[in-house]
Structure 1
Amino acid sequence: MLKRASRFLGLILIPFIGSLFIRLLYLTNKKEFVAPESLPEENFIMACWHGELLMIPYAYKKYKKNPNVKIIISDHFDGSLIAKTLSHFGFGSIRGSSTRNGARALIRGIKELKNGYDLGITPDGPKGPRHEVADGIVVMAQKAGVKIVLVEIKASSYWQLNSWDKFVIPKPFGLISYYISDMIDVSEMELDEAKQLIQEGLLKNEK
């Protein structure tokens, strides 16, 4: 009972505090966008590595001031924390991953894309291997007939967690650089070819 109550409290407090922390980091850093001025008026999949996920709301909000997006997030408790945190930025969520309820998440992702939503995905999540692209992003893009936007988020000064994804938390008073690609069309590509293109695109500015 106590564990349940503490989890419930955590799902309220931690995401709220987390969203304030993300806003504070964004406000206290200089920003650089190496990105298209605008994107075509069509829905898309936005992808970044799991370790760079923290500051992704501002990459999306550069193009869509009123969010119409759902993020694929794992069914685990930490996924619940991420989903609740992103809800403070107006983001919806689809629960599931390659390791848990993967087929359900894949089917629902395709459905939401066909319904006109944008989709956010970490192609190496939720548990890696780090910087390896799983099949799901390509399958969803091809089945729903949408394009992919790749995002790299690099901080000049940061903390890095000792986790599988080497999760990055920018420190205040530095520079956050957003590298955002044009829309990528993978509709005519073989699976491995598309995955390689996505992987290379998300590693272009890796040091």
Structure 2
Amino acid sequence: MPKSFLEKILFRLAYCFAWFFVHLYRWTCRVEVKGPLLDCLNEDRPVLLTWWHQDMLFNFYFLISFAKRRKIATIVSQSKDGALAAYLIEKFGFTVLRGSSSKGGKEALGLLTDFVIKEKAVGIIVCDGPRPPGRVAKPGIILLARKTGYPIIKIRSWGSRQHLFQKSWCKLALVFPFSRVTVWSDTPMAVSRESRRQELEESRLEVEKRLNEMAAVSEGHFGVDRTASISVKTN
């Protein structure tokens, strides 16, 4: 949360900008959803969602309408950039817990686990980062699935018109207004509470593989130049 007077002003300006974009998306973008995501959200099923950092702007926008009627929680890093992200995400109705794989992650994962179980909430972990390389899954979403017993739905969004911030480690995508956007979602994936280390690693690799497969499909969906995509680490 903002601490200094200047931070408060900057955060409020950022919220005004985000609010404007959210409503512009609502009025101008045509969104198509593929897969089971809408059914799971509309039927209030307990579920976990995960995606790459590259997709997070539009994905969080897409979930705002659902956050108005059911509880959705996520983890945001304790970095300075994370403070702004946490402020904005909370302003749009999400529950935010602070932590990452490099700082406070274990505590934040425990808090998220407890919240998701108690509130039967949707849990979100953006599964690469908070540092490069992009599109390499961290184990947090798998551990959350094992502890909660909730299935994981993997998500990818891609717009017909968007800008990729090439200097950001994740090549963050900003979808332009008046775009067509497709949101892909994968078959819910269960992680057994009895899973051991090797099984957990296999599940992590499966999440990474499927997200990258959806990324490959998405980048050709609107005839977008594939050279705009980031490289994918193979295992």
TM-score by length of 1: 0.89
Q: Which structure's residues are more often helix, by fraction? A: 2
Contact 1:68 1:117 in 2 (8 A): yes
Does 2:175 correspond to 1:174?
Answer: no
Match of 1:151 in 2: 155
Quick one: distance in 2 between partners of 1:166 and 1:149?
Answer: 22
Equivalent of residue 79 in structure 2, options 73, 76, 81 = 76
Contact 1:160 1:168 in 2 (8 A): yes
Match of 1:128 in 2: 132
Cα displacement string for residues 9-30 of structure 1 (whole angstroms, at most 9, x for unaligned residues): 2222212321321331343222
Quick one: distance in 2 between partners of 1:154 and 1:44?
Answer: 22
Cα 1:96–1:28 change in 2 (3 A) is: same
| Cα offset, 1:191, TM superposition | 1.4
| Cα offset, 1:92, TM superposition | 1.1
Match of 2:191 in 1: 186
**Aligned residues: CA RMSD:** 2.1
Contact 2:116 2:123 in 1 (8 A): yes
| Cα offset, 1:128, TM superposition | 2.9
Contact 1:34 1:179 in 2 (8 A): yes
Quick one: distance in 2 between partners of 1:79 and 1:176?
Answer: 26
Cα displacement string for residues 105-132 of structure 1 (whole angstroms, at most 9, x for unaligned residues): 1111211122122111110022232001
TM-score by length of 2: 0.79
Instruction: Give the 4+ runs in structure 1 shifted more than 4 A.
Output: 61-65
The alignment covers a number of residue pairs equal to: 205
Contact 1:31 1:176 in 2 (8 A): yes
- Give ranges in structure 2 of 5+ residues lacking alignment: 220-235
The one-letter code of the counterpart of 2:207 is I
Match of 1:9 in 2: 9
Quick one: distance in 2 between partners of 1:142 and 1:113?
Answer: 13
Contact 1:59 1:151 in 2 (8 A): no
Does 2:202 correspond to 1:202?
Answer: no
| Cα offset, 1:193, TM superposition | 1.0
Quick one: distance in 2 between partners of 1:6 and 1:184?
Answer: 44
Match of 2:105 in 1: 102
SS at match of 2:213: coil
% identical equivalent positions: 25
Quick one: distance in 1 between partners of 2:106 and 2:113?
Answer: 11
Quick one: distance in 2 between partners of 1:185 and 1:64?
Answer: 23
Does 2:93 correspond to 1:90?
Answer: yes
